[in-house]
Amino acid sequence: MLHPLTRPVSSPEEAYLQQVDRLVGSHVLHGSESLCKLLRYLAAHAMQEPGARLKEYQIATEVFGRPADFDPQSDSMIRVQAGRLRAKLSEYYASEGANDPIMVELPKGSYHLEFHPRSQETSATHPAAVLVAAASRPSGGVSRNWKLATFVLAILLAAALVVLAIWATHQPAPAKAMAGIPPAPTEFQTFWKPFLAASREPWVIFSNAAFVGRPESGMRYQGPADTDVPILDHYTGVGEVLAVHELDKVFRALQHQIHVKRGSLFSLDDARNNDLIFLGSPSENLTLGEIPTTHEFVFRRLKDGPRRGDLGIVNVHGRPGEEKIFVASPFGSPLTEDYAVVAFMPGLDPARSVMIFAGTTTFGTQGAVEYVCHRDSLKQLLPHLPVTPGGDLKPFEALLRVHIAHGVPVTSDLVAVRP
């Protein structure tokens, strides 16, 4: 295991570390904990062991906590994560990092991070240098120098305006949009189309379970016997919080906004009048029990067996070879696996749409949202969904297996889809 990064003495390494910190703190990587962790690890390896080759197995076990029997041939998690990081780096340098002095690259087919200082304009061609040179030439007097400097400045400004106009005219649409919001990928437009047509923004309803107890001494879900105990209804899981952030990024890219509301304040009138996106399982997002919900993959507390009392997802109409019940890692052991449902259906008003993202844990919910908010995984999902020739998404339910490491969903796999 590599030692954590320390502040190096040499100035190039110092600059490289500062650039990595800038990337981690950027809007592009904000909320992508697994990618930030991978970036720092690759940067440490590149500086501490230059030239040493990194293998997928090493990254999987040391960064993402995968077990010793991890098989890179059958599990593409590291390749997927590296591809996501590579795309994020490109996105960053095409937007907020366009003027950064150092570029960080992850070449395709490699896990060796590279640092490239940008080439700077020479001082001789810089406008200020031209003015200084003009003003310092021998001349008949100070006024002549000022006139010359003013004349050169006017020429430079005119030339700059001409070049800027030509550049703007010939830029492709995505480059022009960098000053604002770049156009959303086609996959996002197809998947989220039902939530883009209405004049009102869709409502995101996040789970807001009722707790009893105190934060400093311990809390638990409200039970049947807790009739006279003060209720705390202002807590939610970290997965739901990060999921809202992911949805906000996608809808901003789609030139739309979302309205966020906690589940305990949600009403049936809200359900009738709005397009809805639910975050969290029915065990926490209790409002899901009051509206039409899933019927292929149903959340249920197990009543018997070794996992009695655990929340599972029942495969109601299981097909040959499919499991009947899906549950997360056992309580008391490290959470490395969860299952989540992604479902799309009509609302109480058939003219409205409902999307559900629900894991048996908060991290499963986060993994489900990230799955449809990242272009690569959404491209894998769309061919399995019922979409009309006109590009309209039809109701479906999908089941995902979410892999988790150190409280971070790292990858999600499609298990089954029901139209």
Residue 302, in any domain of the structure: yes
The reply to whether 54 and 151 lie within a common domain is no
The reply to whether 149 and 43 lie within a common domain is no
The reply to whether 113 and 158 lie within a common domain is no
Q: Are 237 and 362 in contact (CB under 8 A)?
A: yes
Indicate if the pLDDT at residue 136 is higher than 60: no
Placement of tokens 């490290």 in the chain: 334
Rounded to a whole number, what is the distance in angstroms from the first to the last CA of the chain?
A: 45
Name the residue range of residue 160's domain. Answer: 127-173
The reply to whether 239 and 295 lie within a common domain is yes
Residue 247, in any domain of the structure: yes
Q: Tokens at residue 104, please? A: 């960080």
Residue at which a domain ends, from 117, 146, 161: 117
Residue 192, in any domain of the structure: yes
The reply to whether 318 and 200 lie within a common domain is yes
C-alpha separations of 237 from 25, 191, 206, 262, 349 in Å: 23, 25, 9, 12, 29
* Phi, psi for 313 (deg, rounded to 5): -115, 120
The reply to whether 19 and 139 lie within a common domain is no
- Among the residue ranges 101-105, 155-159, 174-178, 189-193, the one predicted with the least confidence is 174-178
The reply to whether 289 and 219 lie within a common domain is yes
Q: How many domains does the chain have?
A: 3
The reply to whether 110 and 131 lie within a common domain is no
Residue 180, in any domain of the structure: no
The 3 state secondary structure assigned to 106-156 is: CCCCCCCCEEEECCCCCCCCCHHHHHHHHHHCCCCCHHHHHHHHHHHHHHH
Tell which residue, 338, 406, 325, has the closest CA to residue 371.
338
C-alpha separations of 86 from 20, 21, 36, 207, 334 in Å: 14, 17, 12, 33, 29
The reply to whether 150 and 95 lie within a common domain is no
DSSP string covering 283-328, please?
TT-GGGGGS---SSEEEEE--SSTTTT-EEEEETTPPTT--SEEE-
- Among the residue ranges 97-106, 215-224, 316-325, the one predicted with the least confidence is 215-224
Placement of tokens 């008949």 in the chain: 140
The model's confidence at residue 190, banded by pLDDT at 50, 70 and 90, is: very high
Distance CA 262, CA 279 (A): 10
Q: Tokens at residue 54, please? A: 């990194």
The reply to whether 263 and 388 lie within a common domain is yes
Placement of tokens 């949600």 in the chain: 266
The reply to whether 202 and 62 lie within a common domain is no
Q: Which residues, 6+ apart, have CB-to-CB distance to 327 below 8 Å? A: 302, 307, 310, 311, 312, 313, 339, 360
Q: Are 354 and 346 in contact (CB under 8 A)?
A: yes
- Average pLDDT value over all residues in the chain: 81
C-alpha separations of 414 from 301, 341, 378 in Å: 23, 10, 11
Instruction: Note the pLDDT of residue 199.
Output: 73
pTM for this model (two decimals): 0.60
Q: Are 310 and 327 in contact (CB under 8 A)?
A: yes
Indicate if the pLDDT at residue 203 is higher than 80: yes
Instruction: Note the pLDDT of residue 235.
Output: 79
- Among the residue ranges 3-7, 23-27, 276-280, 392-396, the one predicted with the least confidence is 3-7
Instruction: Count the alpha carbons within 13 Å of 397 in the hemisphere toward its beta carbon.
Output: 18
The reply to whether 297 and 168 lie within a common domain is no
Residue 179, in any domain of the structure: no
Residue 257, in any domain of the structure: yes
Q: Are 104 and 19 in contact (CB under 8 A)?
A: yes
Q: Which residues, 6+ apart, have CB-to-CB distance to 235 below 8 Å? A: 208, 209, 211, 219
Indicate if the pLDDT at residue 292 is higher than 70: no
**Which residues make beta-bridge pairs with 221?**
211
Residue 343, in any domain of the structure: yes
Q: What average pLDDT does range 160-168 have in this prediction? A: 50
Distance CA 314, CA 324 (A): 6
* Phi, psi for 324 (deg, rounded to 5): -85, -35
Indicate if the pLDDT at residue 297 is higher than 90: yes
Indicate if the pLDDT at residue 360 is higher than 60: yes
Residue at which a domain ends, from 117, 135, 157: 117
Residue 324, in any domain of the structure: yes
